[in-house]
Amino acid sequence: MKSLDRHAQDKLKDLQRRHLRRTLTESLREDGLWIERDGKRLLSFSCNDYLNLTQHPAIKQAAIDAIEKYGVGSGASRLVTGNHPLYAQLEVRLARIKQTEAAVVFGSGYLANAGIIPVVIGRKGLVLVDELSHACLFAGAELSRGKVLAFRHNDVAEARKLLARHRSSHDHALIVTDGVFSMDGDLAPLADLLAVADEHDAWLMSDDAHGLGVVGDGRGSSFVGNTHIPLPLQMGTLSKAVGSYGGYLCASGPVVDLIRNRARTLIYSTGLPPACVAAAIAALDLIEREQDYAATPLRKAKMFTRRVGLAEAQSPIVPVIIGDEEATLAASRMLVEEGYFAAAIRPPSVPAGTARLRLTFTAKHSDQTIERLADIVRDKIMKH
């Protein structure tokens, strides 16, 4: 056997032994709610399609129209000839929703984080990252080649302590955090983090991948509770509640202009397919227009947590933490027998010992279904 193949097989065996081996399962999504996997039709509680917009007829039509008009691909980087006319419309909407001067759209949320952080922070800089932040915030922070420090989850006092100790030996400092935590569903203390950042001449960026469209009247986590926290850097994705694909940054005019000039993942990557941009525009129009619809997934999640007796949901994401990897896989299999799909999330996506079912609620889940799922989780999973 070739040494590379042997290397791969050894690594895979090790993953298997630790119950961490992953496989791709073909998942046929019909309507934003049901999926077909391994020949079984299951009701999904594992899609980030919170508003079921991936299958919305008007949004699909907007994408089809864009293909007819502009073609399938964008043909080049946005900086060359890939900047088709739909981009400007999308960026105007994003800036309006987030109440910033400007916005810039990237190929994905991951590409946005990998591009933004190294522009803002260089070798002599400091990046503080909430320990439960998404992997691509850590990836972007590492790409900056500055000093990267993690602070305990939502621990504002520790972030302050780290800034007090390290800020003076760095030219610039940036705090980054998920706005809505992707595996826990809780919210970051953005107002307090902003105050700490201001105290130490540091900047704050939130990753609102799971906030836009579903919390704060659909505007995201910096708008929760009838306040507006004026974050200097707000990034997110167009692939979750918005139902399409792409990433974005909302910020001031000068910051967005600098990003357009310097972000390598924007400059050296092809522009999005026009259909993705058109779909995102149509979805944001709907989110701005139908705030009650945007509030529905969180309402459903709260209905679930109340019935199970878990801490009240702060977003449409609800973790049912089991701890052990094998037991989590068994719980996920048991739910499949009941007709539900809830993915088992294991390390390294979550810290060791906190394997969980990560449930996501969408606008179209019926109340009866949620009640039945809650009863199963309470009686057959939590009691064991």
Which positions touch ligand PLP (CB under 6 A)? 108-110, 134, 136, 178, 182, 207, 209-210, 237, 239, 247
Q: How far is the CB of 44 from ligand PLP (least distance, A)?
A: 16
Closer residue to ligand PLP in complex, CB, 241/342: 241
Q: How far is the CB of 133 from ligand PLP (least distance, A)?
A: 7
Can you say whether the dihedral through the CA atoms of 133, 138, 144, 147 is positive or negative?
A: positive
Q: How far is the CB of 5 from ligand PLP (least distance, A)?
A: 30
The length of the chain is 384
Rounded to whole angstroms, the Cα distance separating 374 from 307 reads 6
The residue number whose beta carbon is nearest to ligand PLP equals: 109
Question: Are 121 and 175 spatial neighbours (Cβ–Cβ below 8 Å)?
Answer: no
CA atoms within 13 A on the CB side of 181: 22
Rounded to whole angstroms, the Cα distance separating 176 from 171 reads 17
Closer residue to ligand PLP in complex, CB, 105/126: 105
Q: How far is the CB of 220 from ligand PLP (least distance, A)?
A: 12
Closer residue to ligand PLP in complex, CB, 308/343: 343
How many helices (H) and strands (E) the chain has is answered by 13, 14
Question: Are 312 and 325 spatial neighbours (Cβ–Cβ below 8 Å)?
Answer: no
Closer residue to ligand PLP in complex, CB, 111/119: 111
Q: How far is the CB of 182 from ligand PLP (least distance, A)?
A: 4
Rounded to whole angstroms, the Cα distance separating 332 from 287 reads 32
Closer residue to ligand PLP in complex, CB, 208/325: 208
What would you report as the CA-atom Rg of the chain, rounded to the nearest whole angstrom? 21
Q: How far is the CB of 236 from ligand PLP (least distance, A)?
A: 8
Question: Are 105 and 265 spatial neighbours (Cβ–Cβ below 8 Å)?
Answer: no
Closer residue to ligand PLP in complex, CB, 140/146: 140
Q: How far is the CB of 247 from ligand PLP (least distance, A)?
A: 5
Helix (H, G, I), strand (E, B) or coil at 94: helix
Question: Are 47 and 362 spatial neighbours (Cβ–Cβ below 8 Å)?
Answer: yes
Closer residue to ligand PLP in complex, CB, 187/308: 187
Non-local (6+) Cβ contacts of 47 within 8 A are 29, 32, 35, 360, 362
Closer residue to ligand PLP in complex, CB, 82/211: 211
Q: How far is the CB of 134 from ligand PLP (least distance, A)?
A: 3
Rounded to whole angstroms, the Cα distance separating 208 from 222 reads 9
